[in-house]
Structure 1
Amino acid sequence: MKQNVGGIDRALRIIVGIVLLAAFFMLPEAGYRWFLLIGIVPLATGLMGSCPAYSIFGLSTCKLKS
């Protein structure tokens, strides 16, 4: 897959993903706990550097390589 996630975007995705997954494990009794697993998505896209939604809409936060 082509990289389309830039540095700051990538770092924010990883941080948000880790925070959501940490909340999943820290809130065992919460009824909405399972929704926190959505943190897998930003974590995965941040680690891979590629976002399928960006590809669909033709977006990119990566700097162009000249």
Structure 2
Amino acid sequence: MKINEGVFDRGLRVTAGLILIGLSISGTIGLWGYVGLIPLVTGAVGLCPIYSLLGINTCPARQG
């Protein structure tokens, strides 16, 4: 599988995932905050399955 997320996209996903998980651990938003694992993992790996299905690529390197 090819990386389809750019640096900004990946950083934003990791940040959002960590915030959601942190809020869940602190009890602020409840257990549903663990959905933050999804953006955390996709940001760390650099591959978004939904982007692949839709043909979206935010990674500027080696497009095509």
TM-score of the superposed pair, with normalisation by structure 1:
0.87
Aligned CA-pair RMSD:
1.5
Deviation at 1:9, TM superposition (A): 0.4
Once residues 13 and 55 of structure 1 are traced to their aligned partners in structure 2, the CA distance between those partners, rounded to angstroms, is 16
Question: Any stretches of 5+ residues in structure 2 without a counterpart?
Answer: none
Secondary structure of residue in 2 paired with 1:65: coil
Q: Which runs of 5+ in 1 are unaligned?
A: none
**What is the match of residue 40 of structure 2?**
43
Hey, what's the Cα distance between the residues in 1 that align with 2:32 and 2:3?
Answer: 27
Deviation at 1:43, TM superposition (A): 0.2
1:13 corresponds to which residue?
13
> Match of 2:34, as an amino acid?
L
Runs of 4+ in 1 over 6 A off after TM superposition: none
Deviates more, 1:4-13 or 1:32-41: 32-41
Percent identity of paired positions between Structure 1 and Structure 2: 37
Structure scoring higher RCO (CA < 8 A, sep ≥ 6) equals 1
| Cα distance, 1:59 vs structure 2 | 0.3
**Secondary structure at 1:2 match in 2:** coil
The reply to whether residue 23 of structure 1 matches residue 23 of structure 2 is yes
Question: Given the two structures, how large is their TM-score scaled by the length of structure 2?
Answer: 0.90
